[in-house]
Amino acid sequence: MLKKLMSSYAKRVALPPGTLVHLGERALDVALLSLIVYDKDTHAQYEPASFDEAFGYMTPEVVSWLNITGLHDTALLEAVGKTFDIHPLTLEDILNAGQRPKTEFFPEYVFFVLKMIRYDDRAHSLDIEQVSLILGKNFVITFQERPGDVMDALRDRIARGKGRVRRRGADYLFYSIVDIIIDHYFTSLERVGDDIELLETQILEAPSAALTTELHRMKRELLFLRKATWPMREQIMSLLREEHPHITEDSAPYLRDLYDHTIQIIDTIETFRDMLAGLLDVYLSSVSNRMNDVMKVLTVIATIFIPLTFIAGVYGMNFEYMPELHQPFAYPAVLVLCALIAVGMVMYFKRKGWL
């Protein structure tokens, strides 16, 4: 993921700024368009074959949501840019998959780019994809790299006319899209939290080297997640602070709500990071405790037998004049002596707390 980000920038080097090159994985051969137009009373959904067709439906009386999936078709993007008067640097940013979350205000539109996060159940890891939004006078355009997203519930809600969304303008649609993306952070973080709790149970029960690798992987994943979410605080704050004709005043409580959620996400990621750091401590002290236990018992056994072996060695010597060797009770006496020494040492070690 890091490599992807870096290489996306590296490719751009030596091109004039504003040149449209897609800097990301090529997921689709051809871009997919989907368009939803609605007002309080009407609603329609299209899969236009071309941008020209889509643009035909986007009349000023209705709110339009144009979703473009697949960013390889730079000609399409250029057409969009020309039609809606979008700055070349914005188009460049849309194509560049390694963007930092940010809001940019242009007289004609608001540009908003963030990461869409889904928990991948098989890999037990997070899948991160960049989504760009353009909020125009009465439309929102969203750009994604790969098919499949987290916004179906919103499409549904628009179709059924549920909630406030149909009664209000493009800025509420914009807010709803960002809101549903951010809500998915919570679902994903919940799963990450489950993974952390599972890891904790495993480490407390049976610390193993494999778990540190997993711990390391999760730490790194949260490192990237943090990098992707940290700027969102400022990003949404700037929506609240700056005035733009396309953002009505009624949106303020909704944007404040988004802001709260963002801070909660950042908080949670920080908490997760602290928990993982704590887990590493737990792992290390647990491993060292176990190692100490092993070493202690084993060393004690060795220590007990070494003096005994010396005694046995003494009476294995071949000196001619060793009077003990000829006493009938010498052998059992030596055995008893050994036993006494062993018992004495065990008791001493026990009293010292070494056993």
* Residue numbers 72-101 binding its own copies by CB under 8 A: 87, 89, 98, 100
Min dist. Cβ of residue 166 to its own copies (A) = 10
Helix (H, G, I), strand (E, B) or coil at 327: coil
Residue 52 vs 293, nearer CB to its own copies: 293
Min dist. Cβ of residue 304 to its own copies (A) = 9
Cα distances from 57 to residues 53, 61, 271, in angstroms, run 7, 11, 47
Residue 30 vs 252, nearer CB to its own copies: 252
21 binds its own copies (CB under 8 A): no
167 binds its own copies (CB under 8 A): no
40 binds its own copies (CB under 8 A): no
Nearest alpha carbon to residue 11 among 21, 25, 26: 21
267 binds its own copies (CB under 8 A): yes
14 binds its own copies (CB under 8 A): yes
Helix (H, G, I), strand (E, B) or coil at 138: coil
Min dist. Cβ of residue 138 to its own copies (A) = 21
The single-letter DSSP state of residue 324 is: G
Q: How far apart are CA 143 and CA 327, in angstroms?
A: 100
Interface pick for its own copies out of 118, 146, 157, 233 (rule CB under 8 A): 157
Q: How far apart are CA 91 and CA 109, in angstroms?
A: 13
Interface pick for its own copies out of 127, 163, 201, 336 (rule CB under 8 A): 163
Min dist. Cβ of residue 57 to its own copies (A) = 24
* Cβ count near 198 (within 10 Å): 12
Q: How far apart are CA 57 and CA 34, in angstroms?
A: 11
318 binds its own copies (CB under 8 A): yes
Contacts of 312 (CB under 8 A, 6+ apart): 334, 338
25 binds its own copies (CB under 8 A): no
Strand order through the sheet with 110-120: 43-46, 32-38, 63-69, 139-144, 125-135, 110-120, 102-105
Interface pick for its own copies out of 21, 213, 347, 350 (rule CB under 8 A): 213
Min dist. Cβ of residue 26 to its own copies (A) = 19
Residue 54 vs 203, nearer CB to its own copies: 203
Interface pick for its own copies out of 245, 249, 316, 351 (rule CB under 8 A): 316
Beta strands in the chain (DSSP E): 32-38, 43-46, 63-69, 102-105, 110-120, 125-135, 139-144
Min dist. Cβ of residue 28 to its own copies (A) = 25
Pick out residues in 97-126 that bind its own copies (CB under 8 A).
98, 100, 102, 104
302 binds its own copies (CB under 8 A): yes
> Residues 142, 143, 147, 148: is their CA dihedral positive or negative?
negative
Q: Which residues pair with 36 in a beta bridge?
A: 45, 65
| 333's tokens | 């006496």
* Cβ count near 344 (within 10 Å): 11
Min dist. Cβ of residue 326 to its own copies (A) = 5
Min dist. Cβ of residue 131 to its own copies (A) = 16
Min dist. Cβ of residue 49 to its own copies (A) = 30
49 binds its own copies (CB under 8 A): no
Q: Name the segment binding its own copies (CB under 8 A); options: 29-37, 44-52, 120-128, 259-267.
A: 259-267
Residue 49 vs 335, nearer CB to its own copies: 335
Pick out residues in 323-352 that bind its own copies (CB under 8 A).
324-331, 334-335, 338, 352
Residue with tokens 């940019």: 104
Interface pick for its own copies out of 140, 223, 240, 340 (rule CB under 8 A): 223
319 binds its own copies (CB under 8 A): yes
Environment class of 195 (CB within 10 Å of its CB; exposed 0-12, middle 13-18, buried 19+):
middle
